[in-house]
Amino acid sequence: MAESNAARRYLDPVVISQLDTMELRARLIVEGFITGLHRSPYRGFSVEFAEHRPYNPGDELRHVDWKVYAKTDRYFIKQYEEETNLRNYVVLDTSASMRYQGEGGLSKLDYGAYLAAGLHNLMLKQRDATGLIGFDESVHTFRPPKATQGYLRQLLVALERIHGREPEGERTSAAAALEEVAQRVKRRSLVVVITDLFENIAAHDDLLRALRHLRHRGHEVIVFHVLEGQTERQFRFPERPMLFRDVETGEEVSLRPAQLRDHYTEAVAHFTETFRRSCLEHDIDFAELDTNEPYDTALMAYLNKRARLA
């Protein structure tokens, strides 16, 4: 029970935010996840077993793991770091709106950056190649995928840098950034996009076109839609007159939250469902994430996607 509670703690965004380094966050998120996975019904997934693959005719016998054969009576080949199963890009939105935080004290960018760190660690444990792309109004960070464990530190240093970076301009331009990603990523890859989708409403069609462009070029895509659930999805603010300011446009409006809550929540739910359906129509995975919720939802969504691609 104590081990299980510790695992849950290391999937808690607030606990993770209190750790000193991105390296420690990446390690403990994945350790907590794997511990929970071993105690869960999801026994079809095995992170550690990515060190081996089934023997195929023509493989050299010197690469057979005879210790595994003695235990299982089956032939498995040892995999090495240069053997890459899948190429991944983690694409992180670092725009002004991602700096918003609710009552929990964790911004969407905090949440997204720590999730990206955990994903990089998990991908490398799977012997997959992983790279990092950061954007606001344009792509400002591009680290190509590599499958060596030593590359993790470089990715985490890059994440630390863009996590503390001031955005260039105020507006999100996910559509333009993803079009650039589609042009620059030549080999078939899994593209994991972490964003709040806070674009001008008119740009949402452009964003969907950009995502479809990635699919057209043969890439697999997961969109993680990150919001602070209490305020951004449910509009739960104190019941007093408040001034709301759009961090990307500067537009301001003064009102009592109850005046707008029903209309707002209906609009957010409608937009989210419309975007989800549009993604699913083009075989793009879409998952809603709440900055107050543990990271296992996102990591399991990634593993489910990876299992379908195996």
What would the 3-class secondary structure string for the chain be? CHHHHHHHHCCCHHHHHCCCCHHHHHHHHHHHHHHHHHCCCCCCCCCHHHHEEECCCCCCHHHECHHHHHHHCCCEEECCCCCCCCEEEEEEECCHHHHCECCCCCEHHHHHHHHHHHHHHHHHHCCCEEEEEEECCCEEEEEEEECCCCHHHHHHHHHHHHHCCCCCCCCCCHHHHHHHHHHHCCCCCEEEEEECCCCCHHHHHHHHHHHHHHHHCCCEEEEEEEECHHHHHCCCCCCCCEEEECCCCCCEEEECHHHHHHHHHHHHHHHHHHHHHHHHHCCCEEEEEECCCCCHHHHHHHHHHHHHHC
pLDDT bracket for residue 57 (50, 70, 90): confident
- Nearest alpha-carbon partner for 128 in 271, 289, 274, 302: 302
Q: For residues 12-28, give the mean pLDDT.
A: 91
- Judged by average pLDDT, the poorest of 47-51, 74-78, 157-161, 198-202 is 47-51
Query: Is the pLDDT score of 170 beyond 60?
Result: no
Say yes or no: 54 and 165 in one domain. Answer: no
Say yes or no: 135 and 266 in one domain. Answer: yes
Amino acid identity of 136? D
Would residue 99 count as lying in a domain?
Answer: yes
Question: Domain range holding 51?
Answer: 47-79
Percent of the chain with pLDDT over 90: 50
Say yes or no: 61 and 203 in one domain. Answer: no
Say yes or no: 58 and 185 in one domain. Answer: no
Q: For residues 239-250, give the mean pLDDT.
A: 80
Q: How many domains does the chain have?
A: 2
> Can you read off the two tokens belonging to residue 274?
């419309």
Say yes or no: 65 and 181 in one domain. Answer: no
pLDDT bracket for residue 201 (50, 70, 90): low
Rounded distance, CA 174 to CA 176, Å? 6
Rounded distance, CA 165 to CA 24, Å? 20
Rounded distance, CA 279 to CA 204, Å? 12
Model confidence, pTM: 0.83
Query: Is the pLDDT score of 40 beyond 60?
Result: no
Would residue 21 count as lying in a domain?
Answer: no
CA-based radius of gyration for the chain:
21
* CATH code for the domain of 136: 3.40.50.410
Say yes or no: 224 and 281 in one domain. Answer: yes
Say yes or no: 68 and 200 in one domain. Answer: no
pLDDT digits (tens, 9 = 90+) for 213-241: 999 999 999 999 999 999 999 999 888 88
Would residue 155 count as lying in a domain?
Answer: yes
- Judged by average pLDDT, the poorest of 97-106, 212-221, 260-269 is 97-106
Report the mean per-residue pLDDT for the chain: 84
Q: For residues 197-203, give the mean pLDDT.
A: 70
- β-bridge partners, 192: 90, 222
Say yes or no: 293 and 155 in one domain. Answer: yes
Region of residue 276 (left: phi > 0; alpha: psi -120 to 50; beta: else): alpha
Most trustworthy range by pLDDT among 16-20, 196-200, 247-251, 306-310: 16-20
Residue 220 near residue 182, CB atoms below 8 Å: no
Please report the pLDDT score of residue 45 as a whole number: 45
Say yes or no: 55 and 93 in one domain. Answer: no
